[in-house]
Chains A and B, each alone.
Chain A
Amino acid sequence: MIAEIGLAALWLAAALAVLQMVSGAFALRAAEGEVNPLAIYARPAAVVQAVLAVLAFIMLLWAFAITDLSIKLVASNSHSMKPMLFKLTGTWGNHEGSMLLWVGVLALSGGLLAGFEKRLPARTMGATLAVQGFVALGFYAFLLLSSNPFERLPVPAAEGTGLNPLLQDIGLAIHPPTLYAGYVGLSVAFSLAMGALLTNQVNPSFARVLRPWVLGAWVLLTFGITAGSYWAYYELGWGGWWFWDPVENASLMPWLAATALMHSVSVLAARDALRTWTIMLGVLAFSMSMLGTFLVRSGVLTSVHAFAVDPERGAFILGLLLLYIGGAFTIFALRAGAVSEGKRFAVTSREGALVFNNVMLSAILAIVLLGTLYPLLTEAFDVRVSVGPPYFNPAGAIFAVPMFLVMAVGPLLRWKEDKPKRLQFELMLIAALVIGTIALVSFFGQFPLLPLLGLGLAAALAVAAFLPLKGRKLSRVPVATWGMVLAHFGVAVSLFGMACEGAFSQERLAAVAPGGTEQVGDFSFTLESVTPVAGPNWTAIEARLAISKDGGEPVILAPQARNFWSPPMATSESALLTRWDGQLYAVVGNQAEDGRWQIRVWWKPFVTFIWYGGLLIALGGILAIAGRVKVDVKRRVASAKGAERRADIEALGAAAPVPAE
């Protein structure tokens, strides 16, 4: 029954998406100020559709919870012996389930938009909902026609085949859902951008409607990427935190586009400038989300995230991409010329700095996109290449370094026009911090160029982030400004972590006999014992390492080499010792012929700051949303009061004319 309810809900939701699309499109046929009678169905259709899609997802969740082995997806991805948490997270640890999650979030954000957004003109809202319904319809079709998650087995399986052990981790519980919510939240930005473009409503009030969606999606993406990076760091056991893997890049690209969009939408809201550019980024951000889904799900690129791939499904998603991205860019090309130019501004102004950094972000996006797609391109000519850090790091840095510098100065500039002379002190301070830090660090040793630059920029950014508060009464600073300060400071913290990891990491790979002692940095580690241990669905070799710093009290770390039996797979479970100034990262490898064990230990100073920074950035985004919502609610209350007062005056005026003064 569970599967049938889920499937029926999906079909009904797809039907409602059609209704939403058609009814929304009718709104465009209404004259200015009027409402087409057929257009009233779009909003309720979107809301009910959201309920149905979420219901379908809950049904699948339920099927996984009770391990219903008559459902093919459960049988091939779950196991009755798995811990409950991983049974549930297994729901989205596979292709069909994760696509259902994607569609569920898509419908939910469409429903929220339809349910709560009352500020947009009816025509724009209709067009927006029509686009949202059109996008949803494509993904329902994909789910129902080529990846049905509720497919039954003719004969129920006796036992499930289990879940890839790398995915049996708490990281999987958080990372994909937040990323998906972020990806798909951008679909609303996409629909709104298309709606505004179609009805020629690209203006500040549209930007104010768009902003919370972009901010929300951006916060979720930031959080998801941060969590994903940490998950890869401790779970894959390679000691790295970013691998420039196609799937990682697929999450980074929408984030870069959303970061640019978030800033440009603020300019549009505050200054009525950058109209076409904002629309372009709105289309681009969700396009990058869909492109990421395509790259991950089609298997055209080889990646460490080796999902089950299927060229037929790839062709289906490519078809959807052609329809949506191709369609959106075509409309953009045809209509964007009609969007009148926004307000002008000087080069040295807040807008100027934002535009510069928007261009830099887009350039970094182009570099990541090129690096990700380059193997695909060369493979078409039968040359296999793999593009890695030697390309991404320097090529990205060319644009990231000027971006960080402008980011330090930008928030200090005035809107419209400003004179650099006014900021003499701040500019000198920033320059001094960059140069001073680099000089100081170089004094202590030879370090690679990029981490060195990173340290200098991080120091300058950390201070510059707080400069916008200078000379202001802190209790009167708007919440959204605190959000910006915090997010920019988070960038500095994260950059500091990356630079430290790059410059000062120490690594020791040694074959150690039980009882043997080795040294890494200020730490010495002794291999106390190597023992077999067993978990619910795995067995492992566990090494006990006694770690002590400068001969102090030892701490025990226990890295494991695990063997899962269903499905059979070996994983390396790293053990981490977290201190305020960094992490010790230990991995146990194979046993050598002479009985010694391969032990690999890294000391990574301040590596945790990478993720602390990521969290600060996300928190800044949350503050920005909170601040905007607060202002918005105040404004609504005020305008409601104003309307009341006007109505009172009118009522009075009708009864007794106000005497002329």
Chain B
Amino acid sequence: MRSRLFLWVPLALFAFFAGVAGYMLTQEKDEFVESAMIGQPLPDFALAPAYGGLPGTSKADFTGGKPRLLNIWASWCLPCIAEAPQLEALKAQGVEIVGIAIRDRPEAVAGFLARHGNPYARIGSDPISEVQLAVGSSGVPETFVIDAQGVIRYQHIGDIRPEHVPVLLAELEKAR
């Protein structure tokens, strides 16, 4: 009689796979890459104005007084149009929003703001995604809560839907 032990090998391998796969199915699927920058101070940066209407921005704008929102967006980005009303709502609640326009042109920025409203206090232009990558954002739109000391406290990935507005307000309150 041949040794029969090896006949069990396929079953054992399969059982191992099934165990791992079963475990993974129970895990919350997280498709987004979260910034490793949460809890870290903002990197040093200084960006030129994205268009003629508002000043540019630098790290200094985020220190002192109150927590602020840093909104990474672009005029060519469709979800950014979808989140514009929510940014307006946040502004109406007294939130100061600083924008960074990614790979954009002044005319396009001005056109976007004319069409979809302007909730921003300042907009810096980031033509090569330098600051975007430095704060740990992988796409547009993304929104960060920055506390009064200039430390990144919270990251929202994707467009802000109406249900996210209270979440962001709560995070701003926590960062106070």
Interface residues of A (CB under 8 A from B): 276, 280, 283-284, 287, 294, 298-300, 302, 309, 311, 314-315, 318, 321-322, 325-326, 329-330, 332-333, 336-337, 341, 373, 376-377, 379-380, 568, 593
4 closest residue pairs by CB, A with B: A329-B11, A337-B4, A333-B7, A333-B8
23 A-B pairs in the complex with CB atoms less than 8 angstroms apart: A283-B10, A298-B21, A300-B25, A309-B29, A311-B25, A311-B26, A311-B29, A315-B25, A318-B22, A318-B25, A322-B18, A325-B14, A326-B14, A326-B15, A329-B10, A330-B11, A333-B10, A333-B11, A337-B1, A376-B20, A380-B27, A568-B78, A593-B105
A337 touching B2, Cβ below 8 Å: yes
At the interface, yes or no: B17 with Cβ under 8 Å from chain A? yes
B10: contacting residue among A314, A332, A341, CB under 8 A: A332
A298 touching B25, Cβ below 8 Å: yes
At the interface, yes or no: B163 with Cβ under 8 Å from chain A? no
Please report the C-alpha to C-alpha distance between residue A311 and residue B14 in the assembled complex, in whole angstroms: 20
Please report the C-alpha to C-alpha distance between residue A336 and residue B127 in the assembled complex, in whole angstroms: 65
Chain A nearest CB, measured from B158 CB (Å): 15
At the interface, yes or no: B31 with Cβ under 8 Å from chain A? yes
Please report the C-alpha to C-alpha distance between residue A568 and residue B81 in the assembled complex, in whole angstroms: 13
Chain B positions within 8 Å of A318 at CB level: 18, 21-22, 25
At the interface, yes or no: B92 with Cβ under 8 Å from chain A? no
Chain A positions within 8 Å of B21 at CB level: 294, 298, 300, 318, 376
A332 touching B18, Cβ below 8 Å: no
Please report the C-alpha to C-alpha distance between residue A321 and residue B27 in the assembled complex, in whole angstroms: 19
Please report the C-alpha to C-alpha distance between residue A300 and residue B31 in the assembled complex, in whole angstroms: 11
A326 touching B29, Cβ below 8 Å: no
A326-B18, A337-B4, A593-B105 known; A380-B24 Cβ under 8 A: yes
List residues of B (124-164) whose CB comes within 8 Å of A's CBs.
127
B15 touching A280, Cβ below 8 Å: no
B25 touching A314, Cβ below 8 Å: yes
Please report the C-alpha to C-alpha distance between residue A280 and residue B4 in the assembled complex, in whole angstroms: 14
Chain B nearest CB, measured from A353 CB (Å): 23
Cβ-closest chain A residue relative to B23: A380
Please report the C-alpha to C-alpha distance between residue A276 and residue B6 in the assembled complex, in whole angstroms: 12
Chain B nearest CB, measured from A5 CB (Å): 34
A318-B18, A326-B14, A329-B14 known; A300-B7 Cβ under 8 A: no
Chain B 11-45 near chain A by CB (<8 Å), digits 1 or 0: 10011011011111111010100000000000000
Chain B 44-67 near chain A by CB (<8 Å), digits 1 or 0: 000000000000000000000000
List residues of B (87-132) whose CB comes within 8 Å of A's CBs.
105, 127
Please report the C-alpha to C-alpha distance between residue A482 and residue B1 in the assembled complex, in whole angstroms: 41
B7 touching A332, Cβ below 8 Å: yes
Please report the C-alpha to C-alpha distance between residue A333 and residue B11 in the assembled complex, in whole angstroms: 8
Which bucket holds chain B's interface residue count? Answer: 20 to 34
A332: contacting residue among B11, B17, B78, CB under 8 A: B11
Query: Apart from A311-B26, A376-B20, what 8 extra A-B contacts exist at CB < 8 Å?
Result: A284-B10, A298-B21, A298-B25, A299-B29, A311-B25, A321-B18, A332-B7, A593-B105
Chain A positions within 8 Å of B20 at CB level: 373, 376-377, 380
Please report the C-alpha to C-alpha distance between residue A329 and residue B2 in the assembled complex, in whole angstroms: 18
Chain A positions within 8 Å of B10 at CB level: 280, 283-284, 329, 332-333
Chain B nearest CB, measured from A618 CB (Å): 29
Cβ-closest chain A residue relative to B28: A311
Chain A positions within 8 Å of B23 at CB level: 380
Please report the C-alpha to C-alpha distance between residue A276 and residue B7 in the assembled complex, in whole angstroms: 10
Chain B nearest CB, measured from A371 CB (Å): 14
Residue among B11, B105, B127 with the most chain A CB within 10 A? B11
B22 touching A337, Cβ below 8 Å: no
Please report the C-alpha to C-alpha distance between residue A302 and residue B18 in the assembled complex, in whole angstroms: 18
B25 touching A326, Cβ below 8 Å: no
Chain B nearest CB, measured from A519 CB (Å): 27
Please report the C-alpha to C-alpha distance between residue A368 and residue B20 in the assembled complex, in whole angstroms: 17
Cβ-closest chain A residue relative to B17: A373
Please report the C-alpha to C-alpha distance between residue A512 and residue B23 in the assembled complex, in whole angstroms: 51
A302-B31, A318-B22 known; A337-B7 Cβ under 8 A: yes
Cβ-closest chain B residue relative to A299: B29
Chain B positions within 8 Å of A337 at CB level: 1-2, 4, 7
Please report the C-alpha to C-alpha distance between residue A311 and residue B31 in the assembled complex, in whole angstroms: 14
Cβ-closest chain A residue relative to B26: A311
Cβ-closest chain B residue relative to A327: B11
Chain A positions within 8 Å of B29 at CB level: 299, 309, 311
Please report the C-alpha to C-alpha distance between residue A124 and residue B127 in the assembled complex, in whole angstroms: 70
A300: contacting residue among B1, B11, B15, B24, CB under 8 A: B24
Chain A nearest CB, measured from B76 CB (Å): 9
Cβ-closest chain A residue relative to B24: A300
Please report the C-alpha to C-alpha distance between residue A315 and residue B26 in the assembled complex, in whole angstroms: 9
Cβ-closest chain B residue relative to A300: B24
Cβ-closest chain B residue relative to A284: B10
Please report the C-alpha to C-alpha distance between residue A421 and residue B37 in the assembled complex, in whole angstroms: 68
Chain A positions within 8 Å of B22 at CB level: 315, 318
Chain A positions within 8 Å of B127 at CB level: 593
Chain A nearest CB, measured from B68 CB (Å): 29
Chain B nearest CB, measured from A248 CB (Å): 19
